[in-house]
Amino acid sequence: MKAAYAPFDVADYLDNDAVIAEYLTAAAEDPNTDVFLAALGDVAKARGMARIAKQAGLGRESLYKALGSGAHPRFETVSAVLRALGVKLTLVAEHRVPRRKASPRKTPRMRSEPAHRPPKRAA
């Protein structure tokens, strides 16, 4: 007898603001932008795609298209969806190893200045 499993849908677990914020933050850290757009779609689905589309000023079909795989939505679209979801985008400086300070540049010598001065003689 083969066991039957229900399909996993992450939208079923996106049930409060803290979980949604953590989910979107983790997705935004992935270098693949499709991951963030898919996560945004998951959250919109959890909150109600038609309602989010209306609050963002988009049609439902346009929202599906903007958040679909391989889409390249405009920043204004992503920003409107985030506002409709009640999520704020925050940027934080990345912790990097500080660069070494460059040694101060020496001023170039003037042509009239001798390259080597002989030591002074005692009188």
In whole angstroms, give the CA distance from residue 75 to residue 78: 5
In a domain, 102, yes or no: no
pLDDT per residue over 64-102, tens digit each?
999 998 899 999 999 999 999 999 988 888 887 777 776
Q: Is residue 114 part of a domain?
A: no
pLDDT in tens, 39-71: 999 999 999 999 999 999 999 999 999 999 889
Sign of CA dihedral 119, 120, 122, 123: positive
| Domain-embedded: residue 113 | no
pLDDT at residue 113 greater than cutoff 60: no
**Does 71 fall in a domain?**
yes
15 within domain boundaries? yes
In a domain, 26, yes or no: yes
Residue 57 lies in a domain: yes
SS3 content of the chain, % helix, strand, coil (to 5): 45, 0, 55
The total number of structural domains that make up the chain: 1
Q: Can you give the pLDDT at residue 111?
A: 60
Is residue 44 within 8 A of residue 81, CB to CB? The reply is: yes
The range of the structural domain enclosing residue 29 comes to: 10-85
The pLDDT value given to residue 103: 64
23 has a pLDDT exceeding 90:
yes
